[in-house]
A and B are shown apart, each in its own frame.
Chain A
Amino acid sequence: MKFQGAKKIHYDSGPNMTALVDIAMVILIFLMLAGTFNQMEHYLVSDVPLQAKGVGAKPPEGAVFPTKFTIDVSEQGPMYTVKAGNFASVKDTDPRRACDRLTVQLKNQYKNFKDAGVKMDDVQIIIYPQENVTLDGLVPAFEAAQNAGFAKVGFGLNTK
């Protein structure tokens, strides 16, 4: 007596795709490993030219000056100090913590300017760092100014 087994599922044969899958997988893994996506980096952009204290000629008559104030940044030992104009001064051992506090004060100043009717697009903040201040200490000050809403942030050079 002949027993009939369960019917097998059959697929129509076609080109062998195994090699294609192998190569496609290799290409995929290569692209995933080799590709740089730059997602972890971004840029702090400044459109304000470098300023220098105490240099330059007499400005032409009728010249319009932008509203600007300065942020002095200094590092003495472990202490990091930022002074913004005559309205804010923050000291801390951690630059980021200091600049978080500076941001709050700069935001108040931003509001004061706005309430006084100052055109905010014209306001410039110039950061004057001491020579020994590192980029790691400059970036938080730059960020604090931008975070407070000031769009034009630049750097200045002490020429004394």
Chain B
Amino acid sequence: MRRHLMPEIREGGVNVTPLIDIVLCLIIFFMLVAKIGVDTGADRNIDIPTSILGTDIKDMGNTLVLNVVNGPTGVPNPQPIVTALVKGQMQELKLRDFYNGKAQDQLLNTLKLYREGDPILKMTPNPDFKVVIRGDKSLTFRFLAPVLMDCNLAHVKSFAFDTKQPT
């Protein structure tokens, strides 16, 4: 009796093994290099100034990015509009705010919190804490100076301006 064997499947086509190798290498590369899901709080709508010089900040974990734009003028005590990602939430940090009749310096308090820590919030003091100022190119020194002043008062050792490279 003759046995029926399964026919041998043979398939012609392009050998895709090198393609898969390269594609998987590229995927691993992009997964390592791309910063997906890492939000520093930088507002991409701000048009930052251009600079030729500049360094890279390796340790972005020790930084707080402050988005600073000009505030309204023609009002008493004009203030810049400062936003930052604080405790995972984008917040506006007013330089001086009145709450229940008490003056509060939200920006200064936040900077102090990051710099000096808070045992209740389980935040340890961070002497290497840096501030990155992501200011609009039209930001005037009138609005920038109070932000620098608050950095000084909070004993922030260094600050950096976020700039873009010329194209």
Contact = CB atoms under 8 A, between A and B. Distances in A.
A78 B167 CA distance: 24
Contact of A138 (B35, B52, B141, B157): B141
Main secondary structure of the interface of B (DSSP, over half): mixed
A118 interface: no
A149 B148 CA distance: 24
A142 interface: yes
A11 B10 contact: yes
A56 to B, nearest CB: 12
Which of B26, B31, B140, B152 is most buried by chain A, counting CB atoms within 10 A of its CB?
B140
Given A35-B36, A130-B141, A134-B138, A13 B11 contact: yes
Contact of B34 (A34, A130, A155): A34
Contacts of B52: 143, 147
Contacts of B151: 50
A136 B49 contact: yes
A41 interface: yes
Contacts of A135: 49, 135-140, 144, 161
Contact of B163 (A35, A134, A139): A139
Interface residues of B, number: 55
Given A131-B141, A136-B138, A44 B54 contact: yes
A40 to B, nearest CB: 5
Interface in A12-63: 12-13, 17, 20-21, 24-25, 27-28, 31-32, 34-47, 49-50
Contacts of B152: 49-50
Given A31-B30, A46-B158, A132 B53 contact: no
B49 A139 contact: yes
Main secondary structure of the interface of A (DSSP, over half): mixed
B123 interface: no
Contacts of B11: 10-11, 13
Interface residues of A, number: 48
A131 B145 CA distance: 9
Interface of B: 9-13, 15-16, 19-20, 23-24, 26-27, 30-31, 33-36, 48-57, 130, 132, 135-142, 144-145, 148-149, 151-152, 157-165, 167
Given A21-B16, A39-B165, 8 more contacts: A11-B11, A13-B11, A42-B163, A46-B161, A50-B148, A135-B135, A143-B53, A157-B148
Contact of A42 (B56, B148, B149): B56
A130 B141 CA distance: 7
A160 interface: no
A49 B132 CA distance: 14
Contact of A37 (B16, B35, B159, B165): B35
Contacts of A136: 49, 137-138
Contact of A47 (B16, B33, B56, B157): B157
Nearest to B13: A11
A42 to B, nearest CB: 3
A131 B139 contact: no
Contacts of A38: 35
